[in-house]
Amino acid sequence: MYMNSNFLMALLSTPTVSGFEDAGCKIYESYLNGYVDECKRDILGNSYAVLDAPEEFPMVMVEAHIDEIGFQVLYIADDGRIYVRKNGGIDMQCIPGSRVVIYGNSGEVHGVIGKTPVHLQNGQEREKTPELSNLWIDTGLEAEEVKGKVNVGDVVALKQDAEMMGKYRVTSKALDDKIGVYVVAEVMKRLGNERDSLRCKVQGVATVQEEVGCRGALASGYTIMPDVSISIDVDFATDVPGCSKMKYGDIRLGQGVVVACCLDSDMRIVEQLRGIASEKSIPIQYSARPYATGGTNASRIRTIRKGVRTVLLGIPCRYMHTPVEVCDMRDVEAAISLITEYVKSI
C-alpha cells in the first residue's frame, strides 16, 4: 500500500480553520505541481487542480473540504484571559484541557483551554457539558503582552499531534476532512500520470468553509459546472460502543471506502462503482447514511442549476469532531483506487 506520509502529515499539521484555509491550500498546490496543468483559486479560496482536455469532453469534479473546526477570538479580558467562539461544530465535551495555537499578525501564541477545577464544581456542574463562554484560553503571558500579540478575530486552532497507530491507522484532529483532501491529491497525481488515456476534463478541488455551511462547495460547483462530481468526506465508523448499527449502519475501519446510497448519490454511479470495485478487487462498504440528504458538500453540489450527477464517498472515522479522530489508511487507498478507476472509465 502506497502512502505519502510526509504530505499527509504536512496537511494535518497546517492549520485550516474554516475561513482561514490558505496555508493548507498552498501545501495541496505545491504537492500537485508538475502533475496537473495548473492550480488556481477563486474568491472564497477554493483551490482547483486542473487537468485539461478538449472542450467537448465531460467535466469531472473531485472534491473534499480542507477546512477544519476551530475558533476565533471573541473577547480579551483585562487579566489576559481569551474567550472565543466556534468556527464549526466542535464536540465541547473534549475541549477543556486542550492545547491551542492562536494565529495573528504577531505570529503564533500558544495556550491551553482552562476551566474551573472539578474539585470546585458542584454535582450539576460536573455532569454538564461546559459552555464555551465558561472556558478561556490561558497563554501564560502577562495581560499587556497578550493584548499586544492577540486581537479580536484572530483564528485559533487545536494544537497538532498527528501520529500513526500501528501499521495502518492514523490519529489526528482534522482528519475530517484532510484525509479526503489527501485522497483528492493522490487521485489527481495518478490521473496526471495517465493523462493521455483520459477522455474527460478533471478538476480536483480542496474546498473551503464546509464546516460553516458548505459555502466553498456551492461556489466551486457553480464555477466548474461539472457533469459528474465526486465528494469525499469522512463517514461515521460504527465499530465502537454506543454506535447503533440499527440506526447508523455497519461501517468499520479497514473494510474499505464507504459508498453512500442516499439522495446525494446518483444510483447509476453507485452501480458503476460497484462493478469497478468487483472487477478490480477494491474493498467497499455501503451506507444509507443517517439522513436521506445533507451533512456534506455533495448535497449542495447535487442541486446546482438543473442538477449534477454526484456521488458521496466516505472514509470511516472514529471520534469525529474531536482532537483524536482515527482513520485507516487501507480505506484511504481503496478510495483513491476506486475514484481513479472510475474517472478513467468515463
The residues assigned a catalytic role are 210
Torsion sign (Cα): 246, 252, 256, 259: positive
Residue for grid cell 497538532: 160
Calpha distance 279→335 (Å, rounded): 15
Q: Which amino acid is at 304?
A: I
Cβ 302 vs Cβ 226: under 8 Å: no
Rg value, the chain, Cα = 21
